[in-house]
Amino acid sequence: MTKQHDVIVVGAGPCGIAVGAAAEQAGLSCMLIEKGCISNSLVSYPYYMTFFSTAVLLEVGGVPFTIPNAKPTRREALAYYRRVVEHCGVDVRQYEEVEDISGQEGSFTVCTRRITGAKNTYHACAVVVATGSLHEPNHLSIPGEDLPKVRHYYHEPYPYYDQEVLVVGAGNSAVESALEMFRNGVRVTMAHFADSIDRGVKPWVVPDITNRLDRGEIPMYWKHRVAEIRPSSVLLQHEETGEEAEIKNDFVLAMTGWRANHKHLEALGVQIDPETGIPDYNQETMETNVPGIYIAGVVAAGHDANKIFIENGREHGRLITTDYLNKGSVR
């Protein structure tokens, strides 16, 4: 007979791990199912990224995050969250994708498929969806976006050496990738629909990018959107005047953000706000409008992924575990 878990968590990013650690520490039977590897979202970050927060604000499960510098790097964070999994004894099934969730509170069935093709079925009293926001990029929806030179992610500057690269956007990812490429022999141009960089850009980066833009070392097309991507150029259009500018181009980095996958939530009957993309949930318990179905991490932020980070999403595990224990009489 298949074991009945108290909680199954879909996703093993930092916030999913926080749920697993809280559940284990509360004596609950918990399993995390991850279609990639542990902290899969961090794996897709730029290789040499440094976090905005200090290490203590990224801690989960009461496990100290000790580093030699003030702010942790991507590499240090990846090692840390693996250590949390080991220390707290969190059961993580890597490279196993959830295909279907059915049932009701106290008796959910989760069907999965491993990377090998093997299929498994698990049972749980409650399910937590912690799938993050890196499911699908916010597409430009313009001609030429499907060209192989268009990327919605950035890892490192070296593939772009001595190339004409357009960075679309002016948030943290856009600004940091533009600066790193500029310093490594890439001819960088930026385009942004607004007239200033985003307010959420890391404060220590702002003077650097401002200086590069003011000096013209990184050309910036303010109030411009990409109208068309061509094999060897890009057509930009001014937001107000409609005036067009065609620039030479080898690669386009569309750093326009990503969106969450609501497939499982919608199939279970969780209501999603069509404008904000925010699921219907109780902020004090993280339970959705469907009893026994919880959400954790940035999936609770809807389309605005900048509302929830590891720093505040890590608290969701405690809220979920507390509510689950308080509802013990339901099961």
> pLDDT of the chain along its 331 residues, tens only?
568 999 999 999 999 999 999 999 999 999 999 999 999 989 988 888 888 889 999 999 999 999 999 899 999 999 999 999 999 999 999 999 999 999 999 999 999 999 999 999 999 999 999 998 766 788 899 999 999 999 998 999 999 999 999 999 999 889 999 999 999 999 999 999 999 999 888 888 899 999 999 999 999 999 999 999 999 999 999 999 999 999 999 999 999 888 778 889 999 999 999 998 899 999 999 999 999 999 999 899 887 777 778 888 899 999 999 999 998 744 5
Which of these, 109, 158, 134, lies nearest to 44 by C-alpha position?
A: 134
Give the 3-state secondary structure of residue 322: helix
**C-alpha dihedral over 67, 70, 76, 79, to 10 degrees?**
50
Do residues 30 and 23 lie in contact, with contact meaning Cβ atoms separated by under 8 Å? yes
Distance CA 51, CA 76 (A): 10
Give 317's DSSP letter.
H
- What pLDDT, on the 0 to 100 scale, is given for residue 233? 98
162 exposed, middle or buried (CB, 10 Å; 0-12, 13-18, 19+)?
exposed
Do residues 109 and 93 lie in contact, with contact meaning Cβ atoms separated by under 8 Å? no
CATH of region 139-254, choose from 3.40.50.150, 3.40.605.10, 3.50.50.60, 3.10.580.10? 3.50.50.60
Give 136's DSSP letter.
E
- Predicted TM-score of the model (pTM): 0.86
CA angle, 253 then 257 then 262, to 5° = 135
Whether the domain at 4-135+258-330 and the domain at 139-254 fall into the same CATH topology: yes
Distance CA 279, CA 176 (A): 31
Distance CA 316, CA 295 (A): 8
Please identify which residue in the block is written with the tokens 């833009």.
Answer: 213
Copy the structure tokens of residue 78. Answer: 């990846």
Q: Where are the domains of the chain?
A: 4-135+258-330, 139-254
- What is the CATH number assigned to the segment(s) 4-135+258-330? 3.50.50.60
Output b/e per residue, 197-208; b: 16+ Cβ within 10 A: beeebeeeeeee
